Copies of this chain bind each other. A is one copy, B any other.
Amino acid sequence: MDLKPFIAQAKIDLAALVAIDTVSAHGRNLEVGASFVTKLLEAEGFVIKSYPGKVAPILVAEAGEGTRTMLIYNHYDVQPESPLELWHSAPFILTEREDAAGVLRWYARGVSDDKGEFISRLAGLRALKAQHGGTLPLKIKWLLEGEEEIGSPSLEKFVHDHASELTADGCWWEFGSIDPAGRPVIYAGLKGIVCLELRAKVADSDLHSSLGAVVDNPIYKLAKAIASMRDETGRITINGFYDSVRPASSTDLEYISRIPDESAALQQAYGIKGFLENASGARYYERLNLEPVLNVNGLHGGYGDAGSKTVLPAEAFAKLDFRLVPDQNPSEIVKLIRAHLTQHNLSDVEVIELETHEMPGRSNLDHPFMKTAIDTARKVYGHEPVVHPSSGGSGPMHPFVEFVGVPVVAAGIGNISGFVHAPNENIVVAHFEKGVEYALELFSSVAKM
């Protein structure tokens, strides 16, 4: 089938969609964006319900017939465009240009994350309809939210409450990418996350450091807390922390053993001094995909300028995030952290839960839908897909997996130089075109599943 006309129309639609600056962090144009998405889907015969979210509507669109049902999750909001001065073209105008290597790209905020993903899938769906005389040979349930870039504050509860309306044979997640070798990179899970601030205070004002002989030090308290929570391999030493970790399946480990080892390339790109446990290959990806992590995002207290200042700071704070894996629960983890601090005589270290709070979610790669998504990718891209049982990152996949009970696969059109969340966000035009084809083939394959 000639996809060119569908791709041409998709480019126009994508240009129109990125022109609407749906920045959820600033509450900008979210209703306008939702309305345009609604019109695009209504034009394809979707029946759409709009539900109020915290700052933007959640749209649930339904269309099609058949024995199989596919759920798709996308979002129409984007990250803020700042810093504006680093953009080489206006962030909300779709701009086509070749990069330094002569690769044709489209640039705009949201062109990758997540408007390009949505539009490429829509174009594939239009091609599918054209193949089937204007009808859809499977049922599609399309959920789009406008709060993904602010942590999806409404989604977990929404999916929980609407689980019975969202049942499907499989769910297509909002993102995915093509690696530099042209291989599709597919994820079957996302880690959970809980962000905390630890605060220690020893006095109402800074003291002369000679008083450190008798007054405790808030940075020492935080250092003790942090150092006691993990060991030098990165393993977390909080009592009970691993109790609810689901063991990796043999399928997960098999897929992990096949991931091309890109640790050396990452090490060079970022000047990384070394990896924990000197991990590489399967062990590296086992850590990245399947193991929980304690990160210290920042710690600040006391003097920080040149030279020395003999001060005993009154207070200090640290920001931590814990990446979690199934079946860990952020609220339970926070309880374990508080218990740990008490056990270590640090109950005076204040624990503040920050907003970011997501449950982990991971799908079974043996499920026929997951196999179909992987097989279709192999066929469309002509390369063996790189399958990660889970991303190292976090996102709101959990309620789909756990409440709806649907397997979720992430496959898409992103690229490693896509500058997602940064200036000059882009996609490779050829990846977009392949994405339309992948959508068409995935819909067709699932319809026949």
Contact = CB atoms under 8 A, between A and B. Distances in A.
A228 B232 CA distance: 13
A348 interface: yes
Given A220-B226, A227-B223, A270-B207, A275 B214 contact: yes
Contact of A276 (B205, B215, B298, B303): B215
B299 A219 contact: yes
A338 interface: no
A203 B270 CA distance: 6
A448 interface: no
B213 A291 contact: yes
A210 interface: yes
A191 interface: yes
A321 interface: yes
A302 to B, nearest CB: 3
A343 interface: no
A271 B317 CA distance: 18
Task: Give the most central of A220, A222, A276: most B CB within 10 Å.
Answer: A220
Contact of A298 (B275, B297, B304): B304
A164 to B, nearest CB: 33
A272 B215 contact: yes
Interface string A302-344: 1110011111110011110101000000000000000000000
A289 to B, nearest CB: 8
Contacts of A444: none
A195 B308 CA distance: 7
Contacts of A45: none
A213 B195 CA distance: 16
A298 B301 contact: yes
Q: Is the interface of A mostly helix, strand, loop or mixed?
A: mixed
A258 interface: no
A157 B179 CA distance: 64
Contact of A263 (B214, B354, B356): B214
Interface string A3-36: 0000000000000000000000000000000000
Contacts of A311: 297-298
Contacts of A220: 226-227, 230, 294, 296
A446 B345 CA distance: 53
Given A205-B271, A302-B298, A308-B321, A219 B214 contact: no
- Integer count of this chain's copies in the complex: 2
B276 A299 contact: no
Nearest to A356: B308
Nearest to A309: B297
B215 A226 contact: no
A159 B101 CA distance: 68
Contacts of A202: 272-273
Nearest to A305: B298
A312 B204 CA distance: 31
Interface stretch (A67-75, A246-254, A388-396, A435-443): A388-396
Contacts of A293: 209-210, 212-213
A216 B195 contact: no
B271 A204 contact: yes
A201 interface: yes
A392 B273 contact: no
Interface string A225-236: 111101010100
A283 B83 CA distance: 56
A449 interface: no
Given A276-B214, A319-B303, A393-B210, A222 B223 contact: yes
Given A227-B223, A354-B307, A270 B204 contact: yes
A396 B431 CA distance: 70
Given A215-B276, A302-B319, 14 more contacts: A202-B273, A204-B270, A208-B393, A209-B297, A210-B392, A210-B393, A211-B266, A211-B288, A212-B294, A213-B392, A224-B232, A297-B308, A297-B312, A299-B302
15 contacts: A193-B310, A202-B273, A208-B393, A210-B394, A213-B287, A213-B291, A213-B323, A214-B284, A219-B226, A222-B299, A223-B223, A297-B309, A297-B313, A298-B313, A308-B355
